[in-house]
Structure formats: C-alpha cells, structure tokens
Amino acid sequence: MDNLSLAAAAGDLFGFIGHNGAGKTTTLKCVAGIIEFEAGEIMIGGKSVKTQPMECKRQTAYLPDNPDLYEYLTGIQYLGFIADVFDVSNSDRQKAIQKYGDLFELTRNLGDFIASYSHGMKQKLALISAFIHAPKLLVLDEPFVGLDPKAAFVLKQEMKEFCQQGGAIIFSTHVLEVAEKLCNKVAVIKSGRLVASGPTPEILGARSLEQVFMELIRHE
C-alpha cells in the first residue's frame, strides 16, 4: 500500500473499487486485523488495530471473498459458535438468527451440515454470522458473489438499514452499478495507491462509476 488514507464514519456505506490485484483484499484484511501492517495506523471507534486488536475486533465483522466455514457443523451450530465468540445473549442470538435466516431464506436449512450447502447458501450463512453480533463496522469483500438476485436485493436493503441505524460498511465489489447506486462514498485503488476517494456524487459528476473508473485507470 502506498500512503493509503480512507475514512468511514457512522452511517457511511463505502464502496472500495479496483482491478484484480489492486490491493483491495489486502487493505480490508488489514482493517479487520487479519494481517499485520508495518507503516501507518488503522483506527476503529477510536481504538488502534495495532495496539488494541481485540477491542477493534469486538465491534467489527469481516466477510472474506471466499468464506471458509466449518463444514462438519450444521448451520445453526456454526451461528451458535459465532454468537458464543462475541458473547451474544441467547435472546439476542435467537432474534438475529430468526430475522436473518428468514430474510435470506436459510432457516429451514440451518439444521443441515454446512458440507451439504451450495456456494450461495454458504455465502448467506456467512452473512448472517457477520450481522449476528450487531457490529459497528462491517468489512465485506465481494459480498454479492454467489448470491441469487433476491438474496442480493435483501443484502442491499440490510446494508442500507445497517448504516441508517448508525453502523458503517466498507466493501469491495467489481459490480460498479451496485456501488454507484448503493454507496454514499467510494474509493478507487490502483496498484496499492488511492487514485480517487470521496462522496459518490462528487466523484461521479455527470458520469457513471464505470466511466470514472475507466478514465482513472487509463490516466494512471
């Protein structure tokens, strides 16, 4: 990363755009405390990812681009495990599992082993696990991959609601139309360097995000 500077405040739905290998996943893993970084600082809720990693992780949920789930568990066992990790009360976890299980149409499959799930079902389960402890920050790497159109629509609505309630989301996507319509802020990265960042209307002007992206990449 080359002097990368981003800021997502409460209520922000922040789209992170870039070509394959641009550094999106590396950046998101640093934010989530998955990999270490040498220079600079990452702050979450006023706490340092470097010096206060557990405090940061308690208020963060990270969804990788290809979630590795414990396939020998059932869906409900996995969600129970995640809820235990984050000390979610029995009442709160039951409400969250019922809500998101129904929204993503996965409730009837939660008693099945994850090994029997399709890719899309695994993605839905991973998303439910991200929402279950009511984090303040969602860090999502390509969250729409593998979702059917209905599930993608539900996820967009839940992302909007999450931010309207004071949460913040930073997510990467190759689907520029989604980022353009969904995000109030976007950032474009190329080869580890930020080439544009700010409120979506300011970045776009009268152009589409696809046009902006192609212009920035071409000029760089």
State the CATH number of the domain containing residue 52.
3.40.50.300
In this predicted structure, what is the pLDDT of residue 220? 54
Element (H, E) at 62: strand 60-63
> For a pLDDT cut of 70, what percent of the chain falls above it?
97
pLDDT band at 40; cut points 50, 70, 90? confident
pLDDT band at 193; cut points 50, 70, 90? confident
How many structural domains compose the chain? 1
Q: Is a pLDDT exceeding 80 seen at residue 89?
A: yes
DSSP string over 105-143:
T-GGGTTSBGGG--HHHHHHHHHHHHHTT--SEEEEEST
Closest CA to 24 of 149, 138, 173: 173
In this predicted structure, what is the pLDDT of residue 2? 63
In this predicted structure, what is the pLDDT of residue 71? 95
For residue 163, is it within any domain? yes
In this predicted structure, what is the pLDDT of residue 82? 97
Q: Is a pLDDT exceeding 60 seen at residue 41?
A: yes
Alpha-carbon distance of 104 to 92, in angstroms, equals 18
For residue 32, is it within any domain? yes
- What does the pLDDT average to over 61-89? 95
Alpha-carbon distance of 44 to 30, in angstroms, equals 12
- What does the pLDDT average to over 3-30? 89
Long-range contacts of 29-32 (CB under 8 A, 24+ apart): 29/62, 29/64, 30/1, 31/60, 31/62, 31/139, 31/170, 32/57, 32/60, 32/62, 32/139
For residue 144, is it within any domain? yes
For residue 5, is it within any domain? no
In this predicted structure, what is the pLDDT of residue 208? 85
What are the b/e assignments for 171-187, b being 16+ CB within 10 Å? bbbebbebbbebbebbb
Alpha-carbon distance of 112 to 79, in angstroms, equals 12
What integer best gives the mean pLDDT of the chain?
A: 92
- What does the pLDDT average to over 17-28? 88
For residue 99, is it within any domain? yes
Question: pLDDT tens digits, residue range 120-161?
Answer: 999 999 999 999 999 999 999 999 998 999 999 999 999 999
- Print the domain residue range for 125: 13-66+73-219
For residue 155, is it within any domain? yes
Helices (H) and strands (E) in the chain, counts: 9, 8
For residue 7, is it within any domain? no
Predicted structure pTM score: 0.91
Place of tokens 């308690």: 58
Q: Is a pLDDT exceeding 60 seen at residue 1?
A: no
For residue 209, is it within any domain? yes
